[in-house]
A and B are shown apart, each in its own frame.
Chain A
Amino acid sequence: MDRLLVSPSPHVHAKDSTSRIMGDVCIALLPAIVVSVLFYGWAELLVLAVGAVSCVAFEWAITKFLFKEEGRFCGASALVTGLLLAMNLPVTTPWWVVLIGSLFAIGVVKMSFGGLGQNVFNPAIAARVFLLISFPTYMTDWTVTPGFIHATDAVSGATLLGRYAEGGMQAVEGLDYLQTFFYNIGGSAGEISALALLAGFVYLLCRKVVKPWITLSIFATVALISFIFNLADPATYTGPLFNLLTGGLVLGACFMATDYVTSPMSNWGGVVYGVGIGFIVMMIRYFGAYPEGVSFAILIMNMAVPFLNKWFHQKKYGRK
């Protein structure tokens, strides 16, 4: 006891840390990752591995050689970005395209704004949109590679949303929604199983890593809008179940829109943010040029976050 510490209170700390939180998100992504590898095989594993490793490597290299502050390196956070980016890409994406996506996500979207916690846009989504615009052929090739439990040969096909955008309601008639909830072949890794994603999300809720408000308000808005349109004109507009279970909605609502850094701080801000995302998603799906709009919706609402933080605050004690 020759050298005593003296510092202001509090003198103890919760066992939480940034790395532990990000680690929890990785654990929550595991069910969906396992399912995607089972369905899409080695090719999917390669995309995931390239995304994960390259994001962590870029984060490390930039903090070490550009920031020259290794203390700012948070590998777990980069790992989350890498996994989410990979889960947003078609399984046939060439490795070097994934690499470019990682560099854009970490180098441009995250680090150029100051690194962890400073970025305005969700890095994984911004990178996906960047790739979609830069490499449209690769990014809309929904060829399915042979998996371990789904041993067909490689087939090329369109996603459900793609079929709807092309052929209208007739193209998606007779869909088995229960099966779609468990698994749906076609689309990126993050679009396969709503069940696996929700299982991970429930884990995050139990670990108190995220709050449910943003996710619930996205689901509710999408369900409500599609319910109204579907009721008004069932021959033209898809219904709530279709819109909730297809595309990247579950992945986006559970894992991307809930990203701490790019979502509002307050609960009510989160609700408004979620409603905005849900609304934009449905407008793009029904009327937009792209079949799917979750990425665009989240990016657009990312821009509204500073305002939502300014307008919505927690209830203060003893104040109106």
Chain B
Amino acid sequence: MSKITFPIGGVHPADSKFAANCPIEVLPLPQVVYVSMAQHLGAPAKPVVEVGAEVKAGQVIAEPGGFISAFVHSPVSGTVKSIGPRKDLAGNNMTHIEITVQGDEWAEGIDLSDTLVTEIPQDRAFILERIQKNGVVGLGGATFPTHVKLNPAPGSKAECLIINGAECEPFLTSDYRIMLESPRQIVIGAAIMRKVLGDCPCVIGIEDNKPEAIKTMQAANAELGYDGIQIRIMKKKYPQGGEKQLIAAVMGREVGSGALPISVGAVVQNVATALAVYDAVQKNKPLVTNTLTITGDCLPQSAMHNYLFRIGMPLSYIAEYAGGVPEKAAKLISGGPMMGKAIANLDACTVKGSSSILYLSEAATRRKPQQNCIRCGRCADACPMGLEPFLLNRLYKAGDVEALEQNAAQDCIECGCCLYSCPSYIPLLDNIRMAKGQVMGVIRNRNKK
């Protein structure tokens, strides 16, 4: 079958998947963890434990704070030492539950064995409840609560479940490693989500720069033999893993401005989410672990790692365990180099959606001085939403919010392709982010009236 990709824009940054051949290692437990109440999109969770309480790993410690919110479980066994504000990855103050680790005892009812459970539950409500109660959120970046996404509003019907195995961000290898090491669990997770969505067809998309993952996943899919799941090979292009781009690549459909993917019959989930769904439904295991990559351009090969971490682990603890912060690191990033967040220090702690600690050298990451726009149009060619960043940049500087809306500044997905490709190093995305904020504000105000 031919390779697929999205039709508009896109760029080809260097792969830099240096940690691809590092098997996933389990991180030992730290002495203390700090569990954030905002590990998901939507309302922060509300703590349901008191200071001094004894908790076990996998026990609920916070409940959803709204419809779009998620349960949070204790990642470790130990004692709740404090509940209070602490800086999260974005540098905002957020309530964290501090737990002193004692032993590693898990709550009852959780299957910690390695036995593969291949039988798919038939009861839709049971599956959704397990996913919700075990705090599963989307692990592709947005951390949207999975049970909400898998339960489309009445009237809308899922026509295709897309499982994102693109991992289009350079450097990151955690999705690649789980596809190699837990392919059957991912396929079962996909089969479960397919069941919830009314047996709609499912496509697992993997980019052609990961031939091993394609082979392994195809073998696992053939071995398990579920109906309606196929693996599609995608031509490597960033941002293939963007929800809207995946839908265009796989289904040939475009989601309208401001609309949800379900409006064109699409539901997109990440491979890591599929694995979490498997754990939640088949093993009744809450989402308290995930995989992250330690990588960068200024690390020796021996210092690259893929780790299975527990949520709430301080980044400094992980970095220390991995061998410390390299001398030459000029920027620390949580996430990939295209969309990840630069962090000022390692004080923050891992959350469900953590995917990496990326160290970039000054040469790789420092922005060069800005020059005049030469109107080469590379930004417009690169934009996967078909926007004209040079124009939005100019309109933003002119303060013309009306024209910004007409030219669809609000459709920007902040993938970074424009700034990445600008030969004059104009901070296009910086300005378009601000412009997008202004336009969104205007739209919100209008809708209120």
User: How far, in Å, is A86 (CB) from chain B's closest CB?
Assistant: 21
Could you say which residues of chain A place their CB within 8 Å of the CB of B376?
A: 21, 260
Contact B331 A9 (CB under 8 A): no
Contact B408 A10 (CB under 8 A): no
Contact B373 A117 (CB under 8 A): yes
A72 within 8 Å of B (CB atoms): yes
Q: A13-B420, A72-B371, A265-B390 are in contact. Are A6 and B170 (CB under 8 A)?
A: no
Contact A16 B378 (CB under 8 A): yes
Q: A12-B170, A21-B423 are in contact. Are A316 and B385 (CB under 8 A)?
A: yes
A4 within 8 Å of B (CB atoms): yes
Contact B371 A74 (CB under 8 A): yes
**B-contact bits for A65-103, CB 8 A (1 contact / 0 none):** 000000110100100000000000000000000000000
A8 within 8 Å of B (CB atoms): yes
Q: A4-B331, A6-B331, A11-B337 are in contact. Are A315 and B423 (CB under 8 A)?
A: no
Could you say which residues of chain B place their CB within 8 Å of the CB of A9?
A: 335, 337-342, 414, 416, 429
**A-contact bits for B406-430, CB 8 A (1 contact / 0 none):** 0010010010110111011100011
Could you say which residues of chain B place their CB within 8 Å of the CB of A266?
A: 377, 380
Interface of B is mostly: loop
Question: What separation, in Å, do the CA atoms of A14 and B381 have in the docked complex?
Answer: 14
Contact B340 A316 (CB under 8 A): no
* Chain A residues numbered 32-48 whose CB sits less than 8 Å from any CB in chain B: none
Question: What separation, in Å, do the CA atoms of A72 and B198 have in the docked complex?
Answer: 60
Residue from A16, A77, A319 within 8 A of B256 (CB atoms)? A319
Question: How many residues of chain A get a CB closer than 8 Å to chain B's CBs?
Answer: 37
B254 within 8 Å of A (CB atoms): yes
Could you say which residues of chain B place their CB within 8 Å of the CB of A7?
A: 331, 342, 367
User: How far, in Å, is B329 (CB) from chain A's closest CB?
Assistant: 5
B368 within 8 Å of A (CB atoms): yes
Q: A1-B329, A11-B331 are in contact. Are A317 and B385 (CB under 8 A)?
A: yes
Could you say which residues of chain B place their CB within 8 Å of the CB of A152?
A: none
Could you say which residues of chain A place their CB within 8 Å of the CB of B327?
A: 1
Contact A12 B360 (CB under 8 A): yes
Contact B371 A116 (CB under 8 A): yes
**B-contact bits for A288-320, CB 8 A (1 contact / 0 none):** 000000000000000000000000011111110
A18 within 8 Å of B (CB atoms): yes
Nearest chain B residue, comparing its CB with the CB of A261: B375
Nearest chain A residue, comparing its CB with the CB of B14: A12
Contact A16 B421 (CB under 8 A): yes
Could you say which residues of chain B place their CB within 8 Å of the CB of A10?
A: 337-339, 416-417, 419-420, 429
- Sort chain B's interface into a size bin: 35 or more
Contact B365 A18 (CB under 8 A): no
B162 within 8 Å of A (CB atoms): no
Could you say which residues of chain A place their CB within 8 Å of the CB of B332?
A: 4
Could you say which residues of chain A place their CB within 8 Å of the CB of B325?
A: 1
B364 within 8 Å of A (CB atoms): yes
**A-contact bits for B374-393, CB 8 A (1 contact / 0 none):** 11111010011111101100
B352 within 8 Å of A (CB atoms): no
A118 within 8 Å of B (CB atoms): yes
Question: What separation, in Å, do the CA atoms of A9 and B256 have in the docked complex?
Answer: 25
Contact A12 B364 (CB under 8 A): yes
Question: What separation, in Å, do the CA atoms of A16 and B384 have in the docked complex?
Answer: 19
Contact A8 B13 (CB under 8 A): no
A20 within 8 Å of B (CB atoms): yes
B11 within 8 Å of A (CB atoms): yes
Could you say which residues of chain A place their CB within 8 Å of the CB of B380?
A: 265-266, 314
Residue from B11, B256, B339, B391 within 8 A of A318 (CB atoms)? B256
B257 within 8 Å of A (CB atoms): yes
A115 within 8 Å of B (CB atoms): yes
Question: What separation, in Å, do the CA atoms of A315 and B367 have in the docked complex?
Answer: 30
A5 within 8 Å of B (CB atoms): yes
Contact A313 B343 (CB under 8 A): no
Question: What separation, in Å, do the CA atoms of A73 and B271 have in the docked complex?
Answer: 49
A170 within 8 Å of B (CB atoms): no
Could you say which residues of chain A place their CB within 8 Å of the CB of B331?
A: 4-7, 11
Question: What separation, in Å, do the CA atoms of A319 and B406 have in the docked complex?
Answer: 11
Nearest chain A residue, comparing its CB with the CB of B254: A318
A17 within 8 Å of B (CB atoms): yes
Contact A72 B372 (CB under 8 A): yes
Contact A11 B333 (CB under 8 A): yes
Query: Which one of A116, A266, A317 has the highest number of Cβ atoms from chain B below 10 Å of its Cβ?
Result: A317
B225 within 8 Å of A (CB atoms): no
Could you say which residues of chain A place their CB within 8 Å of the CB of B335?
A: 9
Contact A16 B365 (CB under 8 A): no
Contact B340 A11 (CB under 8 A): yes
Q: A9-B414, A9-B416, A12-B337 are in contact. Are A21 and B374 (CB under 8 A)?
A: yes
Contact B344 A4 (CB under 8 A): yes
Question: What separation, in Å, do the CA atoms of A14 and B375 have in the docked complex?
Answer: 17
B259 within 8 Å of A (CB atoms): yes
Nearest chain B residue, comparing its CB with the CB of A12: B337
* Chain A residues numbered 44-73 whose CB sits less than 8 Å from any CB in chain B: 71-72
Question: What separation, in Å, do the CA atoms of A319 and B408 have in the docked complex?
Answer: 9
* Chain B residues numbered 239-294 whose CB sits less than 8 Å from any CB in chain A: 244, 248, 254-257, 259
User: How far, in Å, is B402 (CB) from chain A's closest CB?
Assistant: 15
Residue from A1, A20, A261 within 8 A of B423 (CB atoms)? A20
Question: What separation, in Å, do the CA atoms of A6 and B417 have in the docked complex?
Answer: 19
Query: Which one of A12, A114, A315 has the highest number of Cβ atoms from chain B below 10 Å of its Cβ?
Result: A12
Q: Can you name 16 A-B pairs with beta carbons within 8 Å? A: A5-B331, A6-B331, A9-B337, A12-B13, A13-B367, A114-B372, A116-B372, A313-B388, A314-B383, A316-B387, A317-B248, A317-B384, A318-B254, A318-B255, A318-B257, A318-B259
Which 8 pairs between the two chains have the least Cβ-Cβ distance?
A10-B416, A316-B386, A117-B372, A318-B254, A116-B372, A16-B423, A12-B337, A317-B385
Q: Supply 7 further A-B pairs (C-beta < 8 A) apart from A10-B339, A17-B368.
A: A9-B342, A14-B11, A14-B421, A21-B374, A265-B380, A317-B248, A319-B411
